[in-house]
Chains A and B, each alone.
Chain A
Amino acid sequence: MRFLFKTDYEDDIRLFPHSGYFVSYGVLLALLVIAPFVLSSYIVSQLVFVCIYATVGVGLMILTGFTGQASLGHAAFLAIGAYTAAYLQQFDVPFPVYFLAAGLLTGLVGALVGFPALRLQGIYLVIATISFAFIVEEVLARWESVTHGNEGMRVKTMSLFGTMVPRDGPVFYFLCLSVLILTIVGTLNLLRSPTGRAFVAIRDSETAARSMGINVSLYKVKSFAISAGITGLAGVLFAHKLSFISPEMFTLQLSIEFIIVILIGGTFSLHGAVLGAIFLVMIDPFLTYLKDDMPGVIAGLAATFGAGKATADGIQSSVAAFASANGLKGAIYGVIIVLFVLFEPLGLYGRWLKIKLFFQLFPLYKRATFKRQKIYVKSERNR
């Protein structure tokens, strides 16, 4: 086990508390840099989606994980970012300009959503954000002069400083990766300064935050704006990656996917956003596997254990029917959320911390270390 001897206040401020972090994050960065040159283009493309989802995850984490305001409307913010990019692109606006414009516009919309949300808490806030998402979806479908309605919009190949950046090339991957890294660093900076502490204070006790001089309304709006802005930036990358956007891509299911990202990852740390994004992006290949290979494998197994040809074929077709059933994805999301909330509320990152602690304390680890305790002294909540 490592003991840190702090000799300066700087030791509590810096992002990497000790040299071990440089080694592990350095190795990770090196692996990510060589990834597009050694991995297949399919996996690199999945990595791009991980970056985009993780960026949204970080944005949502600021709002939900750190400020304690739930949102099921982040697909709408993503849509606003994506459509801003697609719209501005028609007028030959350069990428950096419409990238930032999309972030700013989405941030502004986020702030506007934040205002009515000030009076809402918990489930009511969730309902309000869902309604907002539906409004945006409907506007995108009806405002045909700008969004081309349900026909959708084509997004041209990105051109960055005069060179074309194809959506499946390594440059686009590096762009998404750097956006993710910059977002994470910015968020970490925010969290170690007064604004971030105010966010966490609001999450833990609004009354106490107020009595410490924190303008709760202002900071909630700020949190909404920052969260939406980051999501808008991710939206631009999302639009470029898909090269075509239409209103039915930004549905409630997408918002739920973002919730899964932070819930599965662990809502108390930015690591969670990245882990959750990896997990979510892996669901799709898993479903494809389920559809393509599982029926054959199971039928093969059945045949090995003595089932006749007819039975095996029957099994194969029924498994195939199950695997390609409509709404299976949604059902799987539901099961995943329920299982995580029940058995691992701290998410994948929480599990990782437990494993780490187990080896650090071996053989003294106690199972009760992470047991949640409830304390009932909050009578003065004034809510």
Chain B
Amino acid sequence: MSYFRAENLSLHFGGLKAVDSVSFAVEKGEILSIIGPNGAGKSSIFNLISRIYPPTSGKIYFEDQDITGQPSYEIAGLGIARTFQNIELFENATMLSNLLVGRHRHSTTQLWQELLFLPSVRANEKAHRRRVEQVIEFLDLEVYRDKLISGLPYGVRKVIELARALCSEPKLILLDEPSSGLNVEETDDMSFWIRDMKTELGITVLMVEHDMTLVNRVSDRVIALNYGRVLAMGSPAEVQRHPDVIAAYLGA
């Protein structure tokens, strides 16, 4: 049994088949990249996994449990965190409070305890803060701790979104185009962090990415999609040599 599995996953918008019976599996501890031209259905697969859309048909399994019918907040509770292609941070808050929201699935305190701010709440807050600081250190974000998100540059926000996902201590992380909008150095950093996430934190990574340098550098396996269907699956080199993939990209 695989760690994470999608079976015949489909998402139809009327006649448009955004995702057309896609099946794939992610093994524990691997980095799997999904590539494909624009509109191939990559982000839609992510939105299906995190239940922003309900799938038209198909099943999703995580740790041998059927999670297809779970509401979206439960998905995060199971340990599947995600980032967004177009950054969805809480703009009017500091980076620190953004990251603390990432800790939400680990909060155990009750409303009445919070109203009185009992010692247990205080202790919990400090524990959350300690975990958040570890992530801040991991991603070199110390200087931005008390800065408002609305005043930060795009590249930094991208990293902060990754940090927020990491704060929830996920088992599986979904990265939607982690390098989009980043410059060359930032993309380099990103590739190191993705590797470190796998080796140091033991997180399984599923990512959608356009930058083939990044894909080649970090991925264990690659899936190529086009028109909502799987074209090829395998090591980065294999997939790039696959005639269907070349045809999809170059139109040959």
Stretch of A47-55, A193-201, A247-255 that contacts chain B? A193-201
Q: A211-B76, A212-B101 are in contact. Are A9 and B85 (CB under 8 A)?
A: no
Tally of A-B Cβ pairs under 8 angstroms? 123
Judged by a CB distance under 8 angstroms, whether A163 is at the interface is no
Q: A10-B126, A13-B126, A380-B85 are in contact. Are A193 and B121 (CB under 8 A)?
A: yes
Q: A212-B76, A222-B111 are in contact. Are A377 and B122 (CB under 8 A)?
A: no
B residues in contact with A379, CB < 8 Å: 86
Complex Cα spacing A190 to B117, Å = 8
Which residue of the partner chain A has the closest CB to B167?
A212
Of the candidates A12, A186, A212, A222, which one forms a contact with B105 in the assembled complex, judged by CB atoms under 8 Å apart? A212
Judged by a CB distance under 8 angstroms, whether A40 is at the interface is no
Complex Cα spacing A192 to B101, Å = 11
Judged by a CB distance under 8 angstroms, whether B140 is at the interface is no
Number of residues from A at the complex interface, CB < 8 A? 38
Please determine whether B125 and A212 come into contact, CB atoms closer than 8 angstroms.
no
Please determine whether A216 and B93 come into contact, CB atoms closer than 8 angstroms.
no
Tell me the smallest distance from the CB of B92 to a CB of chain A, in Å: 6
Please determine whether A9 and B126 come into contact, CB atoms closer than 8 angstroms.
yes
Complex Cα spacing A10 to B121, Å = 12
Tell me the smallest distance from the CB of B112 to a CB of chain A, in Å: 10
Q: A210-B73, A268-B92, A380-B85 are in contact. Are A193 and B168 (CB under 8 A)?
A: no
Please determine whether B92 and A186 come into contact, CB atoms closer than 8 angstroms.
no
Judged by a CB distance under 8 angstroms, whether B114 is at the interface is yes
A residues in contact with B247, CB < 8 Å: none
Q: Which of A195-245 contact B (CB under 8 A)?
A: 195-198, 200-201, 204-205, 207-216, 222, 226
Please determine whether A201 and B116 come into contact, CB atoms closer than 8 angstroms.
no
**Residue from A204, A216, A373 with most neighbouring chain B CB atoms (10 Å):** A204
Q: A9-B126, A213-B168 are in contact. Are A193 and B109 (CB under 8 A)?
A: yes
Which residue of the partner chain B has the closest CB to A225?
B111
Cβ proximity bits B79-114 to A, threshold 8 Å, 1 near / 0 not: 001101111111111001100111111010101001
B residues in contact with A198, CB < 8 Å: 101, 104
Please determine whether B115 and A212 come into contact, CB atoms closer than 8 angstroms.
no
Please determine whether A200 and B97 come into contact, CB atoms closer than 8 angstroms.
yes
Please determine whether A380 and B115 come into contact, CB atoms closer than 8 angstroms.
no
Please determine whether A212 and B164 come into contact, CB atoms closer than 8 angstroms.
yes
Judged by a CB distance under 8 angstroms, whether B150 is at the interface is yes
Tell me the smallest distance from the CB of A192 to a CB of chain B, in Å: 7
Judged by a CB distance under 8 angstroms, whether B129 is at the interface is yes
Judged by a CB distance under 8 angstroms, whether A145 is at the interface is no
Which residue of the partner chain B has the closest CB to A204?
B90
Judged by a CB distance under 8 angstroms, whether A119 is at the interface is no
Please determine whether B111 and A195 come into contact, CB atoms closer than 8 angstroms.
yes
B residues in contact with A378, CB < 8 Å: 86, 88
B residues in contact with A216, CB < 8 Å: 73
Tell me the smallest distance from the CB of B14 to a CB of chain A, in Å: 17
B residues in contact with A382, CB < 8 Å: 47, 52
Q: A10-B126, A189-B116 are in contact. Are A380 and B84 (CB under 8 A)?
A: yes
Judged by a CB distance under 8 angstroms, whether B56 is at the interface is no
Tell me the smallest distance from the CB of B187 to a CB of chain A, in Å: 19
A residues in contact with B105, CB < 8 Å: 212-213
Please determine whether A213 and B76 come into contact, CB atoms closer than 8 angstroms.
yes
Complex Cα spacing A222 to B74, Å = 18
Of the candidates A12, A193, A213, A377, which one forms a contact with B114 in the assembled complex, judged by CB atoms under 8 Å apart? A193
A residues in contact with B72, CB < 8 Å: 210-211
Q: A190-B114, A192-B117, A198-B104 are in contact. Are A380 and B125 (CB under 8 A)?
A: no
Complex Cα spacing A377 to B125, Å = 32
Which residue of the partner chain A has the closest CB to B77?
A213
A residues in contact with B242, CB < 8 Å: none
Of the candidates A194, A204, A209, which one forms a contact with B107 in the assembled complex, judged by CB atoms under 8 Å apart? A194
Complex Cα spacing A133 to B77, Å = 37
Please determine whether A195 and B90 come into contact, CB atoms closer than 8 angstroms.
no
Please determine whether A197 and B97 come into contact, CB atoms closer than 8 angstroms.
yes
Which residue of the partner chain A has the closest CB to B102?
A212
Tell me the smallest distance from the CB of B250 to a CB of chain A, in Å: 28
Complex Cα spacing A382 to B176, Å = 15
Please determine whether A186 and B115 come into contact, CB atoms closer than 8 angstroms.
yes
Tell me the smallest distance from the CB of B10 to a CB of chain A, in Å: 19
Please determine whether B90 and A189 come into contact, CB atoms closer than 8 angstroms.
no
Q: Which of B104-159 contact A (CB under 8 A)?
A: 104-105, 107, 109, 111, 114-117, 121-122, 125-126, 129-130, 150
B residues in contact with A192, CB < 8 Å: 117, 125
A residues in contact with B87, CB < 8 Å: 377
Please determine whether B92 and A212 come into contact, CB atoms closer than 8 angstroms.
no
Judged by a CB distance under 8 angstroms, whether B33 is at the interface is no
A residues in contact with B226, CB < 8 Å: none
B residues in contact with A186, CB < 8 Å: 115-116
Of the candidates B90, B103, B117, which one forms a contact with A205 in the assembled complex, judged by CB atoms under 8 Å apart? B90
Please determine whether B88 and A207 come into contact, CB atoms closer than 8 angstroms.
yes
Complex Cα spacing A212 to B52, Å = 12
B residues in contact with A215, CB < 8 Å: 71, 73
- 7 shortest interchain CB distances as A-B pairs: A213-B76, A194-B107, A213-B105, A208-B88, A204-B90, A193-B114, A189-B117
Can you list 15 pairs linking A and B with CB atoms under 8 Å apart? A13-B129, A186-B115, A193-B114, A194-B107, A197-B101, A197-B104, A200-B92, A209-B101, A212-B76, A212-B164, A214-B73, A214-B76, A216-B73, A222-B111, A377-B87
Point out residues on B near A: beta carbons under 8 Å.
Answer: 47, 50, 52, 71-77, 81-82, 84-93, 96-97, 100-105, 107, 109, 111, 114-117, 121-122, 125-126, 129-130, 150, 164, 168
